[in-house]
Amino acid sequence: MSDISKIDKNFEVKAPLNDDENLDFYPVPNEKIALYGVFYENDRFVRLPKEIAQVNSSAVDRLHTQTAGGRLRFSTNSKTIRIIVKWDIQNYSSTMSAFSKCGFTLQEDFVGGDNAYVCSFVPPTNAPNGYDSEYLFEEAKERNFTIYFPLYNNVTELTLAIDKGATLGKGLPYKDIKPILYYGSSITQGGCASRADNSYQSIIAKWNNIDHINLGFSGGCRAEEPISNYMAGLDVSIFVCDYDHNAPTVEFLQNTHFKLYETFRSKNPGVPILFLSRPNFYTGATMNPEARLKIIKETVKKAKKLGDDKVYLLDGRKLFGKEYKLCTVDGTHPNDIGFYLMAKAINKMLDKIIKENNLLK
């Protein structure tokens, strides 16, 4: 197999330059820095408690340790930002690069809500147990950062390393609003974004500076009772529900969709719910998208008849719009164009929901 980095050095993954003796090391979780979207349990970062994950589909049990939606926020005046990552499984997929599955992204955050891409922490081609990667700024000054965790790999250990004696704080806070909860399929998990920060939820978070929880599970979101009850118990501002891709049949969706609504609404009478239908409407004809959209519309209609004025619908045909032919890598999973267009459409609805429900303090 040919290695393109031997020909073009721009593809080369460079080893860290700093000696360890010049750095301070901070294992994550750490009280000095802020962790969002994931928590540490049983020697790894997870999105669900193990006891919840294992009583749903086997896919949820496997995927709850994949860190989609995980973020680390911190501030420092260090010139060096290094991460040391360990995992016990490196996942592979023919439609996603090693970086999109396993890589981290560094973003600089600015007061006022703006942000900028800094670098990608790129794993080597062969990294069975993890890797080290660093970025060096030209000058030392106080900066705020977000590091985005991988979309499709587990992480058993993460250490942040900065210049010895450099400052370290929790970074800029998100807006004073509870997290937005997203539940859905591989598209919700982030497949096949090119970088961890290019999933639609991460793009939305960049635009609106609101925290989020990503409970997208490839092939595993089927509105089972345990996870439905778990989500109903979370303290969130908005629930975005998008799982019709993982309903194996139209009948399955019919039997579970309104039931999921009832479960969540029973514990959250005031939390707005945004229902989405599949974005690849025109390239997923074999999944009978018309019938699935009709079921989702029926849930919204029935909820409104019951007096619920906090349910919303975003027709999936509006997510890619006229550019749908450019938006996927395989007819199903969005590329970065697809995720960007999804983020635009969903963020517009979220802005509407936030204003109508006075969610920002």
Distance CA 48, CA 38 (A): 8
Question: Which of 265, 257, 252, 241 shows the shortest CA–CA distance to 188?
Answer: 241
Domain-embedded: residue 17: yes
| Residue ranges for the chain with pLDDT beneath 50 | 7-8, 11
Token readout for 63 is 């995927």
> Domain end: 128, 163, 198, which one?
163
In this predicted structure, what is the pLDDT of residue 5?
54
Verify that 13 and 79 share a domain, yes or no.
Answer: yes
Verify that 198 and 340 share a domain, yes or no.
Answer: yes
Contacts for 331 with CB less than 8 Å, ≥ 6 apart: 280, 283, 284
Domain-embedded: residue 284: yes
Domain-embedded: residue 4: no
Verify that 341 and 193 share a domain, yes or no.
Answer: yes
Domain-embedded: residue 360: no
Distance CA 65, CA 47 (A): 6
Distance CA 312, CA 259 (A): 16
pTM for this prediction: 0.94
Verify that 103 and 198 share a domain, yes or no.
Answer: no
Distance CA 334, CA 23 (A): 39
Unique residue bearing structure tokens 């922490």: 121
Question: Which of 157, 149, 105, 96 shows the shortest CA–CA distance to 129?
Answer: 157
In this predicted structure, what is the pLDDT of residue 323?
86
> Domain end: 129, 163, 197, which one?
163
Distance CA 257, CA 40 (A): 31
Token readout for 167 is 């400052």
Beta-bridge partner residues of 46: 39
Question: Which of 142, 150, 131 shows the shortest CA–CA distance to 71?
Answer: 150
Domain that holds residue 110: 9-163
Verify that 199 and 342 share a domain, yes or no.
Answer: yes
**pLDDT (tens digit per residue) in 121-162:** 988 877 789 999 999 999 999 999 999 999 999 999 999 999
Q: Check residue 218 and report its DSSP letter.
A: T
In this predicted structure, what is the pLDDT of residue 211?
98
Distance CA 298, CA 310 (A): 15
Q: Taking a C-beta distance cutoff of 8 angstroms, is the pair 187, 279 a contact?
A: yes
Distance CA 40, CA 160 (A): 15
**Does residue 29 have a cis bond before it (omega within 30 degrees)?**
yes
Residue 88: alpha-carbon gap to chain centroid: 21
Verify that 221 and 114 share a domain, yes or no.
Answer: no
Q: Taking a C-beta distance cutoff of 8 angstroms, is the pair 246, 280 a contact?
A: no
Kindly list the distances between the CA atom of residue 100 and the CA atoms of 46, 94, 110, 123, 276, in Å, as whole numbers in the listed order.
18, 12, 25, 10, 24
Question: Which of 60, 32, 57, 33 shows the shortest CA–CA distance to 46?
Answer: 60
**76-111 CB burial, b ≥16 within 10 A, e <16:** bbbbbbbbbbbbeebbeeeebebbbbbbbbbbbbee
Verify that 157 and 277 share a domain, yes or no.
Answer: no
Distance CA 86, CA 47 (A): 17
Verify that 87 and 189 share a domain, yes or no.
Answer: no
Count of domains forming the chain: 2
In this predicted structure, what is the pLDDT of residue 8?
42
Domain-embedded: residue 2: no
Verify that 118 and 216 share a domain, yes or no.
Answer: no
Verify that 121 and 229 share a domain, yes or no.
Answer: no
Domain-embedded: residue 53: yes
Unique residue bearing structure tokens 């997510």: 319
Domain-embedded: residue 169: no
Question: Which of 211, 237, 216 shows the shortest CA–CA distance to 73?
Answer: 211
CATH of the domain at 257: 3.40.50.1110
Strand locations in 3-70 (E): 23-28, 34-36, 39-41, 44-46
Token readout for 184 is 């859905």
Verify that 247 and 129 share a domain, yes or no.
Answer: no
Distance CA 40, CA 49 (A): 9
Domain-embedded: residue 361: no
**pLDDT (tens digit per residue) in 222-262:** 999 999 999 999 999 999 999 988 999 999 999 999 999 99
> Domain end: 98, 133, 163, which one?
163
Verify that 135 and 203 share a domain, yes or no.
Answer: no
CATH of the domain at 132: 2.60.120.260
In this predicted structure, what is the pLDDT of residue 324?
86
